[in-house]
Structures are given as C-alpha cells and as structure tokens.
Structure 1
C-alpha cells in the first residue's frame, strides 16, 4: 500500500527530473560546448572564457553583495538590537527563562525566513546589473580621454564610462537602503510587538541601526541630486535651435538642484535630531523644511517661471543670452562626430572650362570615372557570370587596384553559393551541407567602360581568367554575404569526386578552421544541436571532417564582438593568396555631453547615439573564416575593450601589406557625418542661430545623391590616385550646388597608398557664382532635344531606358557631371550601357565614350569663347 502511494510521486519526480535534464542539456550544456569549440577553432578560446568570467563574476559578486547587505541588517535586527525587556525580567529567574525561550524561537525561526528573503531581494535588486554588465566592464577598464566637457569641465571619459554606472549604482543602492530600512523597521516592530515584556520605547541600539539606514537613504538621495546636474547636459528643450543646456537649464534649474540638496539635508538632520531628542520637541522646523523642499521641487518642475524667463529674457536677445550655450553644442557635436579636422577649400569656378578640360582629360582619368552603377551591374553579373545554378552574386563592391601602371577603380563581386537556386528536388541534405558548400572565385570589371559594347572583364569565369594579372591560390569562398547554412567538410562525397560534380567543387577543404568531429559522441552532439539526425547516421562524414558554422560574415562578427556596431557595406578584397572581406566597425555612445544625437537612419535605424568612431577594421578570410580585428582609431571605448580583452585587437600596422592599400572611408559614417556637418559647419553662435547656410543632400528626381566612391588624382599627392567618396550638397530649399565633400584615407604627408589617415576635404563654391546642382543639370539633359529624341526612340524599340547615378566631380576650377544611360532588354531585364552624358556649366553632350564627349565639350567652350552661344548643345543620333 505504501509503495502504491509512493509510485505517483516517484513517476512525477522522474518526469520533472527528465525535463530539467533535457532543458539543461539543450539550452545550457550543448550551446556552451559548441560555442567553446567554435571560439577555440578561431584561436579565441581565452577571449571566450574572459567574456564568460567577466559576466558571471560580476553578476555573482553583485548578487552576493546585495544579499550580504540584507542578511547583515536582518541578522542585527533579529539578534540583538531589538531587545528591550525591563530590568525585572532579568531579576526574576522564571520570567528570564520564559523570555529567553520565546526569544530563541523568534531568533532561529526568523533566520529561516529572512535568509531566503535576503537572497530574493538581492537578486531582484541586482537584475539591472546583470543587464548592464558591459557598462561595468567599461567602467573598470576605461581611462581618461584628455578632453573635458565645456560646462562642468570633467573628462569625457566620466560621461562615457562612469556616469552610466553611477546612475545605476545610485538607483539600486537607494532601492536597497529603502528596502532595508522598511524591512528592518518591520522586523523591529515585530520583535517589539510579539516578544513579551518589552519596554514601550525602541531600544537605543535599534534607533542607532535605523538611523544608519536612514543616513544611507539620505546619502543616496543626495547623490542622486548631484548626478541630476549632469542630466542637464542632455537636455533637448532648446531643439531644433540647438541641443544641450540653455539659459534656463544652467541659470535657473541648476541653482534649484543645489538648493534642493541643502533643503533635503536639512530635513534629514532635523528628523534625526527629533528622533534622538528626549522631549521630542516641536515638529514645526521639520514641516517648514519639508514645505521648502516641496516648493523647490515644484519650481524645478514648473513651466511657468521658465516660460517667463524664456519670453522676457531669452527670446529678445537669443544669441546674447544663449550664444555661449550654442557654442558648447557646436564644439561638442563637432568633436563627438570627429569633424574637427575637416579641411575647407574655397574653390573659384571658371565660366570657360576649356583649360580644365585640356589639363584633366587624360586616359588615366577616363579609366576611373564610374559609369556602371552597382545597382544595375549586379544584374549583368548574375546573368553573365553565375555559370552554375547554385552560384549567385549577393552584392557588388567598389575598390581600386594597381592595373597597367596606375590605380584603377573596379567593380567586383564574390561568386557565392545559394542552394536555394537549385530545383526543389535537388535541395536535399547532402547537396546543402556536404556538396554545394561554398562559392568559387569572383568577377572584376573596370568601373569606367565605353558604351554600346560588351562588358570588359578583368577577372571572369570559373577558370578565373584575367588579362591584367589577377591570380588567386585559394579561390573557394566558404564565408561571405549569403545566408549560409552549416557545412561539413572535407567529406567523402568530395574526395570521391562523384560523377557530375564540377572540378572546382571536387577540391577538398584544406583550411584549418571549423569544429572537428573526431568521434561518434561529438557527431551525436551536433545532431542534437542542429536537430538533424542525418549528421550522426551519414556515412560520408569522416573523422577528418569539420563543421563550419556562422558563415555569414556579419553574423560571425556580431557573435564574436556584439559590442561593435557594423557598417552595412562589407567589401571583398582580392589578394594573391585568397579572398578577404573587410568590415568597418564602430564604437558608439549616447553619453557624449552636449552633443546632438544622430538621426535614426544610421546603420539598422535603432541606434541611439551621439558619439561615433570608426575604431576597428575587421578582416575575415573568405576561405578559413579567420577573423582579425585591427584598431584604426584608438578612441577611449575601443581602448577599454582592448585592455579588457588582451590579444583580440591588433594595431593597424599588423595588417597584411596586401590589404592595407584597400582600406577605405566607410560609406555609412560619411553619410551620417555630412548630415551633421550640413548644419554644424556654421560654427559661430550668430551663424548657427541664423541657419542661413544650412545644407542638404543634393537631389535628383526627388532622390538624394548619396556618397559614392571614385578613384582620382586630386593633385594632392603628385600623380597618385586617391580612392575617395564624393558627397555633393545644396542649400536648403535650393538647387544650386554649395559644396562637394571628399572623404579619403590617404596620408598626404606620405602619399603612400598603404598609409591610413582618414580625413574630409570640403570644396566650397563662392556665393556670388551660380553653380548648377544635379537637379538643374538633370533638367538641362531633359530639355536637350537631341538627347530626348534618342531616348524616345530607344523606348519605342522594346527597351526600357534608365538613367544611372549622376557623378559629380571637381575638375580643376570646374564641376564635371557624368550620367550613364542604360537600356534594359524587355525579356531578360539585363542592362546595357548605352551612352554617357557629360556636362560642364550649361553645356551637355551625349556620346559612347568619355573621350569623345570631352572632345565635343571642349569644342563647344571654344565656340562660346569666340562668339555668343548658340544654345545648349546635345548629341547627334548615332548611326
């Protein structure tokens, strides 16, 4: 009978135990070991343990700390300080024994209650610390930046590292003190109420204990007021004029914060004096102090007085009253977004561009004007160079290579694999994970090409033929931009060279990356991890096989270093040995004092920040998946992470020589910096307040002209070409061109393509001269009768005509516009470069080659110099 009663309990316990073991195995044990093996395969095992230890040591230490606080105070309250029996209890032996028995029961019984309560309270209070453990890491490893904020003159590192953790500590310690005070007071009351023969008054020791806890509350509240001063540096009440504290914040609210500190301390002192006074004198001083504190709080939160100050003091003379605070915002924002080293050049514009055309129109320059937009070129790549159905080109990149005696701009794309392009019956497990495991090679084509002819290739086909010297020893691409699934290589399918498998796919994997599968036990674990029993039962997996996981490079980097924010445009680099991916990474913070927050269209659109640095260049080997981090801007944040994780981040000088010439200024960073600079280049309070020269991105057909890459000699390094980004801007609500920005990485003091010194140059145009913006040039193109007639004719022949990106380029003392014209076949939609439109000033021509277009432009300017212009010139219809 007894066994029958125990059976259900035993079954229930077994089921619960099995569930616990299953959950622990699946979500803790398995993930932990797979991550450990993966980090080990990347030679980052020490980093894996450091991240784990930092997190759990910090979380454990914080939990123990708060548990100890609650346990200590409960122990004191229940063990000694709450006892206050009258003297006759100790004189009467019977009463003393009865009191002692009751007290012992209370002491030891309460310990069973307050110990788990202390633990639960400690965990509850420590939870925010678990969520912000990396803030604590920066706090411990951060160091001084040498830059001070303009208001309180504290080092910027205080706001980046200390201030966030101080706010968290203050909030949680205040919560702890309040909970401790309330719970301890309750315990004293229970002792006083239920232990017999207690005196009417709380004992002196209990008063001391509660006073200490009350003093902690006072201290933490006061600390909160002191920290509240710094919150003024992030005030947004003066936007859209400027960001940060204004006259009301620093001349009205800041003094009220100091007065609140004094009033609160006065209340605390009066309360303590009242509690310990024998006569419990009048409460009037306390009431007066409380009323005064409430009045100060009301004034601080009121909008009436600030509105009066704003109306009668600030608005009548804003630049006088708030000019200093505007300057704070300008200086902080320029520093936070790394805009202090911009070189501004006033560029006079020549009406007659003949001389500029003669000096600039060289074959080297013609070979670097990008007339193929990657948005159109990718369709040509996919239709002409995928060759096999399981290959694809996810994206097209731009870069420069030393070809035929000079640096030439090219477009290139990795030929990656995508099993989803196969027929459904071919998308089986073996094809997905064992056979079609990697991409192969890349294609390279010059960015500048002549129209109306087939695309010129510098690297093409599966045999990687190249007419300009591209050669790669390991062209296999196991890691890239595609959404790769796990692969198991090498395997018996590959080594057996199954009939029908291409030669490039038959090559076994020779890399040393991946997680080994040396035993049936590990095969079983991976079968559970991927929820795929075929891993365990497949006869084609050998003891030499390795599992390749996290093969998308963005996912790979984000898993390794989640504290870095990645640029949206990683790009491919062709080296003599293999292919590499280079990924720009940023360190961000939203705590830079007085700096304007960035717009919400940066990166993934959800980042909240007002400080940024392109601190790291990340190199991923497309063959082995090895990830290397190189510090290119040792800002305080990446310096703290580098100290916390020694050996992970390397100096930029350690980057392989073959990769250094391919570093670039990040596109996303430049876009965001120019959005900020468009307003903040007006760097005096008067100009900033007037906003008379605020810029915006140049527009064409309602779309902004976004930054684009170009390789050109800007006569800053003799005859050396620079790979830069171009960014044109116009005045707000105007179409005239105000400036052209150029962002590059070459150090002009050395003029070495391997040097790295990022910088921005702004070419500003005189206000007295009208310079056509891209929308105005687009209108000139549309108004040209010859061009319009030719486009109409093409549209009637069953093709769709598309205008490409407009290239805007300073050319001596002239501004050059180049726009490609594409024809898209109706059936295939494959684009063909049909013509190139070139414009300088008010002259517009269209031709098949840039050389021919420039020749005609020169003739037009010579004709205008001899006599009145006969009008806008266009093109003749090509026969």
Structure 2
C-alpha cells in the first residue's frame, strides 16, 4: 500500500504535461481548421454575392458544383483506390512477423492513420488537379457537333475538341490511381514483411533452408497476387491511353504541321496499336503471375514492351521519316498537306478570303484620285498611338485623371455623316492623387468622367485635335446622358460608395466643373445598381478578409447604405462572367444611346481542331502597340471565332453578352452549359451595332495564318516561295510588328468607301509590298467580316512600309521641313502611323507628322505636316491637300475637306467689321505662332495660340 502511494505522485507530473500538450494540439488544430474554413467561406460567399449582383449566379454555381464534383472524383478515385489497396495489403500481411523488431505491431496500432494520411494527401492533390478541368467536363457534357468529319477516322470534329480532352483526363486519372495504389500497396507489403529486399541472413536467423527459400521468394504469395493484379490493371489503362493516342495524332505536331502526316498515318498510328496490343499481352502475364509466382515472365514482358515501344513508336518512325518520307516529302505528304491547308483555313475563318491580283501603278498624274474623291476626305490624320499626350494635356482637367497611351478609333454619325473618330475615356488615375489615404483611394476618387472624342480627319489651325466631345461636364456634338466611369480600364482598386441618409456626398464628381462659383467642386453619391451591398456586418467582415483590409470594418464610411464595387475593369468582368471566352486586348469606350459603355470582343478558341496548324495566341496577336494593352495568354490555339460581343456599362458595371457568330459550335455548347447568359444578336440596338468593329486580335491572328495559308496549292505551300509576313513597324522601330489600322477606304472596283481594318504584308524576309489585306469592320454593312486581299504583281516591285518610310525621310523637301525640329530648338518631330490606301490604281502612303516640345512637362504632340508617297513621288505640306496636290501634279482630283479652324467650334462667318478686324488679328497671331513653332520656340507658340483663340472668341461674340 505504501509502495503504491509513493509511486502515484511520481506519475502525475508526467501525465499533466502530456495532457496539456494534447489540449494545446487540439486547440491549434481547431483554430487552424476554423481559419481555413473562414478564408474559404469568405472567398466563396463574396464570389457568390458578386455573381448574384451582376446577374450571373448560374455561371458561378454551375462551375462551383461541377468543380466540387470533379474534386470528389479525383479524391475518391485516386485517394480512395490508394487507401483501399493499402488496406488490402494490410489484411494480406504474413501471419508471422518477418521484419525487424516490433515495427509491424506499431504500424498495426496506427494503421488507420498510416493509411488515411498518405491517401488523403494524394487524393487532395488529385482532386485539385481534376477540379481544374471543370471547363473540359462542361464542354464534353454539353458538346455540339460541328457537322464536319475528320478525313482519317471519320469522326466529327467535336470528338477532338470536346470528347478527346475529357477522355484523356479520365485516362490520366486512371493511371495516377493505379500507380499510386501500386506504390502504396508495395510500401505496406514491405513494411509488413510480405516483401523482402534485405539480405536473408539479416531478416531470417533460421537455417540454410530458410535462407534458400527467401532467396527464391522475395514476395509472399498473397502480396505477389495483389501487386500483379494492380500491375495488370495499370497495363490495361496504359493500353487504353495508347489507343487514345492514335486520335491524338490529329492534334499533335508532326514534322510539317499540326496533324497527321505520312509518317503518322503509316507508322506512328500503327505503332500505337502495336504497343496497346503488347501492353494487353503483358497484362495477361501479370494476371497469370498472380498464380504462378514467376516474376521472370512478366518482367521479361515489361522489358520487351519498353524496348518495343522505343523501337516501334520512336526509332522506327524517325528512321522512316528521315530516309523514306523526307526525300519524297512533296509527293508523299501532298494529300496530308491538302487536308492540313483545308482544316487550317476553316478553323481560322479564312476559307472564304477573296484574293485579287493588283497591278499597282506607280506613276502619278493630275486628277488621278478623282474616282476616290469620297474616300480621300476620310483619311485619318490623328494617330491614336501618338496623340495620347495631347488628350492628356488638353483634356485631363486635373492630375488625377488620365487617358491611355494608345487611344481608340470609333465611328459616329456627325451632321448626318458617319465619321471616323479618335476616342478615349477620362478615367481616375490613382497615381495622380496627392493624398493617398484610404478614404481618398476608396471613397472619394471613385470614378472618372466623360468620353473625349476628336475627328480623325480634322484638326484646328494650331494642329490640335478638332473636338467632338470634351471637358467636364461633356460638351460637343456627342450627347451623353450618363458619362460617369465607375467601371473602366484603370479601375484597379475597389470602391465603397453610398452615403448615409442625410449626410453630404463624399465622392468627387466634377472638379472645377460644377454649378456655382468658378472652380467649385461638385460631389456625388452613387445611385446605380452596381456592386454588392455590405449592409450586413458579417459580409463586411468577409470582404475585409478578402481584401485583407481592416478599414472595411473600422471606417465610418462603410455603413448600412454602402456598396462595394470591385473587379471593375471591363476585360476582367467579361472574363469572369464568361470564363469560356478569351477577351480581346482592347476594350472600346463608346456612347450607346447616350450612355458610356465598353464594347469587348470575346473569342471561343480550341487547340484541338484536327489537322489545323497551331499558333501561340500571344505571339500571333502581338504588335508594336501590345505593350500598352493587356496581352493575350501565351497558349496554343488552332481554332478561333469572334463568337460574342460583350457590353460593359461604365456606370453600373452590368455585363451583357450577345451571340455574334451563331454558327459556332463552341458558342452553342457553352450556351447549353449556361442557358440564358448569352442574348440573341437581334437584341442589339441599332446604335450599339453602329459601334461594333471587327476585332484587332482576331485580325492579327488571321493575317499571320494568311501569310502562308493564303494558297491552297500544296506545292506552293511546301516550297514556301509565296509566304507573306507582317512588316516591322516603320515608326516604332524595334517595338514589334506594324499593327492593323482602321480606315475608311474604297476597295478597287467598288463605289462607296467602307470602314475596314487593314494591314500591309511583305514577302518573307523582304521589305517590298507583297499583299494588302482588309476585312470589313462596319457591322451595319453586308461585307462585315469578309477578308479581301490585293496581291501585288511579282513583276513590278512596290515599296513596303519600311522602304516607304525611309524614302519619305530621305526626300529633300521633307528633310528641309523637318530640319528645324532635328538640329536645334526645344521642339522635336514625331512621326505618326504610316497608312496604306489602295487609291488611284496604286498604293498611297499617308503619314502625319507631329511637332512636340522636347523638354518640360507641358509639351504634347500637335499635327504639323502631312507627308504622302505614291510610287516614287513624295509630297509634304501643312495639310493633306497640299501634300496630295504636290504628288499629283498640282491637282489630286479630290478635296480632303480638312477643317483648319482656329477654334473647336464651327462658327457662322462674321458679318460685322469689328469681327473681321478681330479675325485679321487672330490670323496674325496664328502666323506668329506658326513661325515660333518652326523655330522651336514653344513658349511663344503657346502664347500666340492663346491670344489667337481669345481674338477668335471675341470675333464670334460679334456675330449677329
């Protein structure tokens, strides 16, 4: 009794620390699980609220539930099969321990944990990987036939675009499950002593007979049967993968292109059948081995299978390709090239391209542009890649507003005539805010204001743009009913909007442009339906977690009337509500029925269109302007359609998707997956339709494909003797390819000019013009989307853009005009885009030239000269008309109708003598300004321009 009493106190101190450690461990686990659950719940709930607020809850729930189902599929198949086979291995353990010490006993006491932890780990990995294939599963489940069969297996194209990726994923899951199950079972068998890998003398202290038996049988009979069956199942799945690989050849890279070539058809496809057959035979051997316990037979089978795979799938086809196919490639590959050409042209939508030979004249004569008189006035002189700083300086209003570096080209009906315009949205630039407090960033500077637009073909006498819409509030010929920009390309931060009842507004609306005293600010409270209500404190806590910002809980400006606006850029919003789309890199700001909206082009793409050549989407859509815009993802594609036109309202952030290419099977597939999310094209208003353009990224991809696939002759395609490529940008040297340009041009043989996207092409590794490509870009015209090509004559060389740019700069008249901006003074010349137009029976190049102050922060480009070249004739003038008349012997035959007003308003001619005197003085000021600009004196230039404007304004006041 006394002995028991003495020993009891000694055990308690040891038990208490152990109990405390266990409690702390439990607390730590519970806290970790709670934090992870809160993070997950915050992310899921806020996403659900966002999708519900924008009207796309169905998209979120469909993808969430589908992803959850796939996650469970990966978890159960991989993790479950691993756990099952580890449990089976445990049950098949030897009756007598054959391992060192009491290792098996320890493992058996913790067998549930020992099986669950590794199985759960690999299951979670597999489930996460499988859940990432949600789009693959949804596309397969809702697949739509293309109505086109591949030429080798006779299967509909939809099998390759929808079914093949899904089957490949299932096979990969199966292989992962078998391999991990085999590995897990082997480890358990080894731990339980069913597999012997150490020296028999160590494992077994028994006699020589026992050692001999262990040298003969490294596996127990039950372990051998278990592992053999698993290996057999793995080989069957591998055989299925090999058989599936036969179809994969049509979407794999061959020696010449993407798709099946001669070697794939005759050797590689057969090789996959052979390997599949060998795999099944070896699988049978493993099944037999479960009874015979002779590892040598299936082992030899495995070795033979690996050797056969190497020979049949690797070495043999490579040898046949090198010594049999390549020497006779033009003949043996001809039918395969024909199929590849046809598939590629169809997949990229260039199969209906019209190619015409064009014998461009190079001689210039008087009146030569008479037939193009309607198109010449539409030539765009304002370069959207140059005049961004001009918009910035003249229309920025305050330092916290900004415009993009590269502006956009749009069309508006002005005074009854469709007019090309250069447009940009005036957005909030957070970098320009002096006090970057939380309140300023998220509650005060919440939105931009107004669309700024200028004529594309007109300028003021000063060289500044002729405005169509300007200032805050917006004035001009483009009426705006709602110009506030809560959702825009620069809206990278979330905003909290909504004022307390009775409280004063806090959102800055019109700085210096409101009612009341000059310079007074006007503030506003957002009353739109955009964003998510954060009236619930729990929701606010979730958003504080989502954005890692405690101010959402602490600030008094976040209250029961508040809404939070986030994910505000147009491209991101479209990508979120339609994750099956690739979005164009350029969102167009435009006014539709008086509201400022963003028009975004959406593409359906695939990398599995059979026998169509693949390109990298980012590389194919890149040019010299790509650095100023969001790039496309770097991923392979071999099918693309502009299937959707999306509209994002700049005020409430609503996203409306319109089905554009209704024949696209991929679009129809996703319409079935997310019914009701894409609206019919017929619901687009006439005003919206007038602003729809042919998307630039698609056209850039198509022009790259057309560079080689404009021909349908397999011999020409193979010899590569008629390959075109986009030239390097002749203006932004070293920054990439010349971008396509939106222009209103008259196509040779037609009567009326049409708005088109155009691109010049040069022969491969050459600089002369090889072809001129255009695509109809006016959605109200019947030729929208129709690609046309003028192929230059091979007998007469026509200079390409870079040769023309060099010739213009080298011209003595041009160089003398630009000399004051190159050698002295504080101003410099900036070359604008070199436009190519098929007029006068030849090719006319037009290049605006801008003057800009070289130093200081207030300089901006203004249009100073216009240079043109036709054939070998170069002209330069203060106006396009002057330059054209120089080239065409004093009379181009067309009037450019350029606006040279000194004010951005067109006034009625003054009638009073005082008005005439004021205008005479204004003209003198303009002349002085022009002289100062030529000498590089920008200070005097700006002073004279200001004086001239003041005089013109006074003259306008005298008009009766």
CA distance in 1, matches of 2:77, 2:224: 24
Q: Does 1:738 align with 2:770?
A: yes
**What SS does the corresponding residue of 1:471 show, helix, strand or coil?**
coil
Whether the aligned pair in 2 keeps the contact of 1:843 and 1:860 (CA below 8 Å) is no
User: Structure 1 residue 373: deviation in Å?
Assistant: 1.1
Q: Does 1:766 align with 2:793?
A: yes
Q: For residues 452-463 of structure 1, what are the structure 2 equivalents within 5 Å? A: 452-453=461-462, 454-463=464-473
What's the offset of the Cα at 1:421? Answer: 1.0
Instruction: Give the 5 Å matches for 1:356-375.
Output: 357-362=368-373, 364-375=374-385
Query: 3-state SS of the aligned residue for 2:705?
Result: helix
Asked whether the 8 Å contact 1:356–1:811 carries over to 2, the reply is no
What SS class does the counterpart of residue 743 from structure 1 fall into? strand
Q: Which residue of 2 aligns with 1:723?
A: 755
Q: Does 1:678 align with 2:700?
A: no
Shift of 1:386: 1.0
**What SS does the corresponding residue of 2:472 show, helix, strand or coil?**
coil
How do 1:398-413 and structure 2 match up within 5 A?
398-413=409-424
User: Equivalent residue of 2:145, what SS?
Assistant: coil
Distance 1:345 1:356, change over 3 A: farther
Correspondence 1:89-238 to 2 at 5 A: 119=120, 122-180=123-181, 213=230, 215-236=232-253, 238=255
CA distance in 2, matches of 1:500, 1:400: 29
Per the alignment, residue 68 of structure 2 pairs with 56
CA 1:391–1:128 in 2, change beyond 3 Å: closer, same or farther?
A: closer
1:512 to 520, 526, 529: 529
User: Contact 1:452–1:848 at 8 Å: present in 2 too?
Assistant: no
Whether the aligned pair in 2 keeps the contact of 1:807 and 1:818 (CA below 8 Å) is yes
Q: Which residue of 2 aligns with 1:253?
A: 268
Query: Does structure 1 residue 449 correspond to structure 2 residue 458?
Result: yes
Q: Quote the residue 2:428 is aligned against.
A: 417
**Matching residue of 2:815:** 788
1:24 match? 37
Matches within 5 A, 1:375-390: 375-390=385-400
Per the alignment, residue 596 of structure 2 pairs with 579
Q: C-alpha distance in 2, partners of 1:587/1:293?
A: 41
Instruction: Report if the CA contact (8 A) 1:595-1:610 is conserved.
Output: yes
- Structure 1 residues 296 and 723, CA, compared in 2 at 3 Å: closer, same or farther? same
Listed one character per residue, the Cα deviations across residues 275-319 of structure 1 (whole Å, up to 9, x for unaligned) are 657xx99988x788667545532323554x556534543343321
Is the CA contact (8 Å cut-off) linking 1:353 and 1:814 kept in structure 2?
no
Contact map agreement 1:452 1:834 (CA 8 A) in 2: no
The equivalent position to 1:37 in structure 2, one of 49, 54, 62, is: 49
1:224: how far off? 1.7
What's the counterpart of residue 901 of structure 2? none
Kindly state the Cα deviation for residue 52 of structure 1 after the two structures are TM-superposed.
1.3
1:633 matched to 2:650: no
Unaligned runs of 5+ in 2: 1-11, 97-105, 197-215, 515-520, 622-630, 894-929, 932-960
1:254–1:688 distance in 2 versus 1, CA, 3 Å: same
SS at 1:346's partner residue?
Answer: strand
Partner of 2:838: 810
CA contact (8 A) 2:195 2:220 kept: no
Matching residue within 660, 666, 688 for 1:659: 688
Q: Equivalent residue of 2:469, what SS? A: coil
Distance 1:42 1:717, change over 3 A: farther
Residues of 2 paired with 1:810 and 1:555: CA distance?
38
Would you say 1:485 and 2:496 are equivalent positions? no
State the distance in 1 between where 2:636 and 2:674 align. Answer: 25
Deviation of 1:226 after TM superposition, in Å, equals 0.5
Deviation per residue, 1:376-422 (Å, 9 max, x gap): 21111000011122211125211111122221100011111123213
Residues 552 and 265 (structure 1 numbering): CA distance in 2 closer, same or farther, change over 3 Å? closer
1:340-399 deviation per Cα after TM superposition (whole angstroms, max 9, x unaligned):
12122223334555587343453x534421111112211110000111222111252111
User: 3-state DSSP class of the match of 1:473?
Assistant: coil
Q: Would the alpha carbon gap of residues 134 and 226 (structure 1) be closer, same or farther in structure 2, given more than 3 Å must change?
A: same
For residue 300 of structure 1, give the secondary structure of its aligned residue in structure 2: helix
Structure 1 length normalisation: TM-score?
Answer: 0.84
Which residue does the alignment assign to 2:674? 645
Q: Equivalent residues in 2 for 1:250-399 (5 A)?
A: 250-270=265-285, 272=287, 293-300=305-312, 302-303=314-315, 305-306=316-317, 308-352=319-363, 354=365, 357-362=368-373, 364-394=374-404, 395-399=406-410
1:615-636: CA deviation from partner (whole Å, max 9, x where unpaired): 2222100000111122222433
How far residue 717 of structure 1 moved from its aligned partner, in angstroms, is 7.8
Query: CA separation in 1, counterparts of 2:118 and 2:863?
Result: 75
Q: Distance in 1 between matches of 2:81 and 2:128?
A: 16
Structure 1 residue 65: deviation in Å?
4.2
Look up the match of 2:648.
620
2:37 & 2:344 partners in 1: Cα distance?
48
Tell me by how many angstroms 1:112 deviates. 7.5
Please report how far the alpha carbon of residue 458 of structure 1 lies from its aligned counterpart in structure 2 after TM superposition.
Answer: 0.7
How large is the Cα RMSD of the aligned pairs? 3.9
Contiguous gaps of at least 5 residues in structure 1? 86-104, 195-199, 864-877
- Give the secondary structure class of the aligned counterpart of 2:757: strand
1:673 and 1:456, CA in 2 relative to 1: closer, same or farther beyond 3 A? same
CA deviation vs aligned residue, 1:593-634 (integer Å, no higher than 9, x gap): 333221452444522323222222221000001111222224
Q: Quick one: distance in 1 between partners of 2:306 and 2:563?
A: 69
Task: Give the aligned partner of residue 562 of structure 2.
Answer: 545
